[in-house]
Amino acid sequence: MNRTLFFIFSIAFLFSCSTTKSAKKSRQQHNYIPKALHNTYLGMPMEDFKKVNGNATLNSEVEFRTVYLEEFEGGDISTVSYYFGTKGILPLYEYVIDYRSKEKRDEFVKANLGDPNNGEDWAFDSKEGFKIKAWVFNKKLVVTGLIVDTEWYNEENNTD
Quote the domain boundaries for residue 90: 2-158
Model pLDDT for residues 52-76, shown as the tens digit of each residue: 999 999 999 999 999 999 999 999 9
Cα–Cα distances in angstroms (integers) from residue 118 to residues 32, 84, 110, 114, in the given order: 15, 24, 15, 12
Residue 144 has pLDDT above 90, yes or no: yes
Q: Dihedral, CA atoms, 20, 25, 27, 29, nearest 10 degrees?
A: -170
Amino acid (1-letter code) at residue 18: S
Q: pLDDT at position 36, please?
A: 94
Query: Starting from the edge strand earliest in sequence, which strands make up the sheet with 122-125, in order?
Result: 57-62, 65-71, 77-84, 92-99, 140-145, 131-137, 122-125
In whole numbers, what is the pLDDT of the chain averaged over residues? 85
CA angle 125, 126, 127 (to 5 degrees): 120
CB neighbour burial string for 71-110, b if at least 16 within 10 angstroms, e if fewer: ebeeebbbbbbbbbbbeeebbbbbbbbbbeeeebbeebbe
> Which band of pLDDT confidence, cut at 50, 70 and 90, is reported for residue 28?
confident
Q: pLDDT at position 128, please?
A: 87
Q: pLDDT at position 153, please?
A: 86
Domains identified in the chain, total number: 1
Residue 127 has pLDDT above 60, yes or no: yes
Shortest CA distance to 70 belongs to which of 49, 42, 85?
49
> Which band of pLDDT confidence, cut at 50, 70 and 90, is reported for residue 12?
very low
Residue 2, C-beta contacts closer than 8 angstroms, at least 6 positions apart:
none
User: Residue 114: which region, alpha, beta or left (left: phi > 0; alpha: psi -120 to 50)?
Assistant: left
Residue 39 has pLDDT above 60, yes or no: yes
34 neighbors 97 (Cβ within 8 angstroms): yes
> Which band of pLDDT confidence, cut at 50, 70 and 90, is reported for residue 160?
very low
